[in-house]
Structure 1
């Protein structure tokens, strides 16, 4: 009887040890973002401003001192009125999709090549063309489909449409609820399309040098992937058996405690 009890106790302790090993804790060094080091932070947003790409959807609005002269360039101006809410007005503003040749087709101006330009560069180009028709024209351009996706070990994975093209990887992770305790912070992947080719780039969020990375500021359609740490991978190997092992171990320990009193 004593040998059976010893065997049962050994098995219970063995199972408990296995569970502890599979759920080992991470160190502070692997968890804290942007830890102090000797890196000199010199990131300038102007170096990495997103460029307009094929299939981008742009809102283009023309303004002038006399609103009447902008009517041919703003298709919705004939139905707009002072009673419109701001949201309704934004929804009715004209949008243009960048075609496969990198052009948008604007009223009066026709095809205008904007692919490869920043938003500010596109504004200046269109404004220059409009000066043939309007004195001191104003132009406002916004991305309608500036989207990033965050996948993997984050609290709320998903795709996010952003009101501005100025967004960092940390801000995108914040919108996704931040990394879970199981996410690997030293090896976050940013998938980006450059000239029709997908590129995969790694960021170490625990180092300040990440602030100097060309992938710290995101471009439209970037995908951020956070991989699980080893403890999460190990626990997934146990799968549904984890609860069973815990229950059996607890039962064995309880029975042994009762029988050895």
Structure 2
């Protein structure tokens, strides 16, 4: 009986010291930080934010020309003419080179880095006017995305299809949060991964939400942390089976020892 008590005591000590340290990502001072407060000026900037083309982006471009009095529209350029069409987002469209340019029919290399979709379209129409009478251009950035990880039902990469996305939409596209999700401390990482901007969002507090911003940007990483209770679940899954095996092996010896003591 004493041996069984020792086993149970050891099990209690191990379980009480169980933590999520080795399971949680991006650990640091932000784990104990309060919700990030966004100023009105910052919020207004995020509401009106437009993504600008960067090197390594995938950009689909369509250029049309109106021909003659019949108003016939002829396609001059589209994303398939780049030879890189096929899978949406990852391979569709022209690849912006490291120097921010793409190579187009008739006009050759053009620098689109730093332009929004509308700015790039207007720029291309002006360039094509040298060769076409009535050019019209459509530009779309194809590889904008959000990275969703942690306690969501479908973690992964979420494409931004309408130019912007908010946190609630990203969570919904990920199949909602799991029962183990820490809804009070959602982490958003933005920018350079060596020195990222870190935001903490509490979805359970309306007052905190009114001072925060749910808008996400291209390449943001959203991490839904697990609650501390998951540590006990992980402990029971990983540690209890060996203890059950040891307990099963030792039980007959404990019973024999008990019977001997009772006979004495």
Q: Quickly name the TM-score band, shorter chain normalised.
A: 0.5 to 0.7
Question: Does residue 1:61 correspond to 2:59, yes or no?
Answer: no
TM-superposition CA deviations, 1:60-93 (whole Å, max 9, x none): 011243387754434858xxxxxxxxxx9x99x9
Could you tell me which residue of structure 1 aligns to residue 200 of structure 2? 203
| RMSD, aligned CA | 4.4
> Helix, strand or coil: the match of 2:137?
strand
- Residues 146 and 164 in structure 1, CA contact (< 8 A), matched pair in contact too: no
Query: What is the number of residues matched between the two proteins?
Result: 220
Q: Is the 8 A contact 2:60 2:78 kept in 1?
A: no
Match of 2:77 in 1: 73
Counting only pairs closer than 5 Å after superposition, residues 169-188 of structure 1 correspond to structure 2 as: 169-188=167-186
Residue matched to 2:165: 167
In structure 2, relative to structure 1, the CA distance for the partners of 1:128 and 1:205 (3 Å cut) is farther
User: Which digits, 9 at most, give the CA deviation of each residue in 1:156-201, with x for residues without a partner?
Assistant: 111233433321122111111111121122322223335x965142
| Contact 1:50-1:218 within 8 A present in 2 as well | no
SS in 1 for 2:147: strand
Q: Deviations over 1:99-118 (max 9, x none)?
A: 11112222222222222222
* 74, 94, 98: which one aligns with 1:96: 94
Task: Indicate conservation of the 8 Å contact 1:43/1:212, yes or no.
Answer: no
Given the two structures, how large is their TM-score scaled by the length of structure 2?
Answer: 0.62
Give ranges in structure 1 of 5+ residues lacking alignment: 23-38, 78-87, 253-261
Q: Aligned to 2:107, which of 106, 109, 117?
A: 109
CA contact (8 A) 2:150 2:224 kept: yes
TM-score normalised according to structure 1 size: 0.62
Structure 2 spans left out of the alignment, 5+ residues: 19-38, 252-264
Partners of 1:74 and 1:135 lie apart in 2 by 18
Q: Does 1:229 align with 2:227?
A: yes
Equivalent position of 1:193 in the other structure: 191
Relative to structure 1, the CA distance from residue 178 to residue 171 in structure 2 (aligned partners, 3 Å threshold; closer, same or farther) is same
Residue 61 of structure 1 aligns to a residue in which SS? strand
